[in-house]
Structure 1
Amino acid sequence: MANFRTHFGVASVGGLIASQAGWQASLYGLWQAAVIAGLVTFGGILPDIDADNSRAVRLIFQILALIAIVVAVLLLQHRVTPAQLFAACGATYLAVRYLASALFARFTVHRGLWHSLLAAALSGLATASASFTLLGQPARLAWLHGLALTLGFLIHLALDELYSVDLTGARLKRSFGTALKPFDWKAPGSSLMLLLTSVHLIAWLPPLAVLREVLTHGLGWGLGWGR
């Protein structure tokens, strides 16, 4: 299994390449290129959200808490007083950083459900939904945000599988196959809940026609296929 530094470094490079390609293809501006790079990098460490008491999980929940504060400010700034907004932001930070972190540590197993393609899909859909519905981003950009996070997530899973192959001994380690799996075979109930959550997000997603356009045209231009 790759360590935190490897996951972070490879995902960062992948994020820079992806954001540069999209920027050169005029899919977004320079500021959004930085956002895309950040999302790929964050996705590259996100599967370790189920790793108890690790550097990765502390960083993940710190970032999620800050994102939650930004969303809270955007949603509440015109509805409550400054004092109430400050209190709400403090409560949001504590709830995400400590309560949510404790719940994940209690109910998840490392390299379980969150190391799966289903979790990658859910994370990407949730990102696209939040970008489109909560932050009011254009549909195409929201889908690009979701795809960027999913890309980073898949980079993490692929690295874990690569590190499960012992090239010197020409053998597979016991951890092989525990990352790039469709879902957690050992927890069908949790996998079903994650699948239902993904389906539930459909109502908040940007139009699927825009996703098809991004996949067939936007990414093609970003990779140079349309030139």
Structure 2
Amino acid sequence: MANFSTHLKASIITSAPLSSIVLATHISTLSESLLLFFIGALSGLLPDLDSDNSTSIQWLFSILGFFLSGSVILLCPLSSLVEMWIVGITIYAFTLYAIKPIFEKLTVHRGTLHSILAVIMFAIIGIILSLLMQQSLNMSLLVGVAIIIGALTHLILDECYSVDLANNTLKSSFGTAMKLIDLRYPLTTFMQVLFVSAAIFYLYPYHTEINSVIILWQVQLDTLTIIPPFMSQWWR
């Protein structure tokens, strides 16, 4: 299993191309691209919210608390400095002292959070939270994409660490890091399925607009210039 530092570095590396592409194609603004970069980088830590390591989970929820506080302060109009402080401290404290203990009691490391279903759940949560914070549908969907890229990077990296290349063998942990669903824990898996289904139902009224946004992305991506014109002759 890759450690905390490796996961963070890997998600930073995979989030950078996304933020640069959406900026270069004008799918997002500079500030939005920077925010997407940070969201993608931190999303690479999401599957370890069920970590058995007390230090890791403390770091993860501290970062999550700061991130949620900063996001709300940046995205929601607040009238005064004192109001910003109160909101930021409240969200941080709630994340660390209310949400964290619940996760510690209900989750098992490399359980249901290390699954494709959990990645989808994280992404949908990001999309809905962005919409609730009055973000555009375009930005909300980009948040979902950034979360998927970051979280999938984590799962793929853990699976890569389950392969012993030196001895050409698979470690006992192989297959536990990246799976579609985790049938070992039917209750939490069912809760994830229920949440995802409810979230999809909530987002259903946006389906026409979502299709339009995706089509616009395709059009914008077609305009992306990967190789500078003066270098293109080298590839002929």
Flag whether TM exceeds 0.5 (same fold): yes
Supply the RMSD in Å over aligned alpha carbons.
2.9
1:61-98 per-position Cα deviation (integer Å, ceiling 9, x unaligned): 123323444577677957xx998886665444322112
1:149-175 per-position Cα deviation (integer Å, ceiling 9, x unaligned): 111000100001111011111111111
Change (3 A) 1:36 1:199: same
Q: What amino acid is aligned across from residue 52 of structure 2 in structure 1?
A: D
Cα distance, 1:102 vs structure 2:
1.5
How far apart are the structure 2 equivalents of 1:75 and 1:204?
Answer: 22
How far apart are the structure 2 equivalents of 1:217 and 1:158?
Answer: 29
Cα distance, 1:222 vs structure 2:
4.0
How far apart are the structure 2 equivalents of 1:53 and 1:32?
Answer: 33
Cα distance, 1:44 vs structure 2:
0.6
Q: What amino acid is aligned across from residue 26 of structure 1 in structure 2?
A: H
Residue 130 of structure 1: aligned partner: 129
Cα distance, 1:131 vs structure 2:
0.4
Q: What amino acid is aligned across from residue 95 of structure 1 in structure 2?
A: F
Q: What amino acid is aligned across from residue 181 of structure 1 in structure 2?
A: K
> Structure 1: which 5+ residue stretches go unaligned?
none
Residue 41 of structure 2: aligned partner: 41
Cα distance, 1:213 vs structure 2:
4.2
Change (3 A) 1:147 1:89: same
Q: What amino acid is aligned across from residue 147 of structure 1 in structure 2?
A: V
Matches within 5 A, 1:16-55: 16-55=16-55
- In the comparison of the two structures, how many residue pairs are matched? 224
Tell me the SS of whatever aligns to 1:6: helix
Cα distance, 1:144 vs structure 2:
0.6
Change (3 A) 1:31 1:88: closer
Structure having the higher Rg: 2
Change (3 A) 1:68 1:39: closer
Cα distance, 1:226 vs structure 2:
9.4
Which has the larger displacement, 59-68 or 11-20?
A: 59-68
- Cα pair 1:21 1:223 within 8 Å, conserved: no
How far apart are the structure 2 equivalents of 1:30 and 1:88?
Answer: 26
Matches within 5 A, 1:1-227: 1-69=1-69, 90-133=89-132, 135-202=133-200, 204-205=202-203, 207-215=206-214, 217-218=216-217, 221-222=220-221
Query: TM-score under structure 2 normalisation?
Result: 0.82
Cα distance, 1:17 vs structure 2:
1.1
Tell me the SS of whatever aligns to 1:33: helix
Query: TM-score under structure 1 normalisation?
Result: 0.85
